Homo-oligomer: A and B are copies of this chain.
Amino acid sequence: MPPPVIQSLDDIRQALQSLPAGDAEAAAKAAEREPQLTKPEGSLGRLEDLSQWLCRWQGRHPPAMGAPKAQVFAGNHGVASQGVSAFPAEVTAQMAANFEAGGAAVNQLCQAFGVGFSMDALSLDRSTADFTERPAMSDAECVDAFVFGMGTVSDGIDVLCLGEMGIGNTTSASALSMALFGGGAAEWTGAGTGISGPALDKKTRVVAKAVGLHKDPDPLQVLCRLGGRELAAIAGAVLAARYRRVPVLLDGYVASAAAAPLEAACPGALDHCQAGHMSTEPGHRKLLDELGMTPLLDLNMRLGEASGAVLAVAILKAAVACHTGMATFDEAAVSDKT
């Protein structure tokens, strides 16, 4: 179904209270077929769970993986002026152009796995405010980006890979995660694009300062104050996907942090999402623990731009191929257990 019209943070809160449930009947059909397939019960491990999960959140059996899509949002961050990244802020726009020209890693991965690709740059000429001084976004700016993200999700997508590009946004992810789940800044802060030593110490102090300024019991307020436009857009896309029966693969630390306020505001709000992979960012592991998610891949990646999520599409394709294509014990005349 189409998601409700959102014009304010309150509208988001309300939408979270009336989230569509998963399709238990479709999931049950998958669970019923699985033991009939020519393999020892449970021997395909997570592939079997994923088939059921896809059925539950696509709302159908058999599940389909013919039309996966990757959606990347790009945004600029005021906090980048604090020197928290190894790259200058203009790289966000340069990489956005690289996505459009097809030269980025995610383009190659989408091509390799037959995944549709779309990238939207959100006001790159105008970074968010530096959240070491004031909220990154006003409520209205955050809602605008959230609604933009919602609008990118249409019916008919089999799985949506959500990713981002934005110099400075692992600082945002760290601050957002810490504000939501507590702990110390050092536990949530990592190398990002590749900083270490004094630069990493500085980033950690920036995160601690930002959380001290903006910590708030309301997860959506935390998203406004410590997030960024691309993070708000990801959160919006996650919400819209739930209404439109589109399962979601979250990419790395930033995408997971962007979605986290929804779960913090409404436990279960991310049940239609899987973590595509585990990033090397130390905060990502901690965040996925908080969200109760087990990543599908763990390959020491930390690129963002939906790369880990798109790679995980291969796992979902494998799950659906086995679930739908395998012969049953009866069909193949294979003896079941002794």
Q: Which A residues are within 8 Å of any B CB, using their own CB?
A: 37-47, 85-88, 90-91, 94-95, 97-98, 101, 103-105, 107-109, 111-113, 192-194, 280, 296-303, 307, 311, 314-315, 317-318, 321-322, 324-327, 331-338
Contact = CB atoms under 8 A, between A and B. Distances in A.
Given A112-B317, A315-B311, A322-B105, A87 B335 contact: yes
B327 A45 contact: no
Contact of A300 (B46, B103, B321, B336): B46
A138 to B, nearest CB: 29
B104 A327 contact: yes
13 contacts: A37-B105, A38-B95, A40-B192, A43-B301, A46-B299, A87-B335, A90-B335, A94-B332, A97-B333, A103-B332, A104-B326, A112-B317, A112-B318
A332 B101 CA distance: 8
Contacts of A90: 335
A105 B338 contact: no
A321 B94 contact: no
A194 B42 contact: yes
A90 B335 CA distance: 8
Given A97-B332, A107-B325, A322-B109, A87 B40 contact: yes
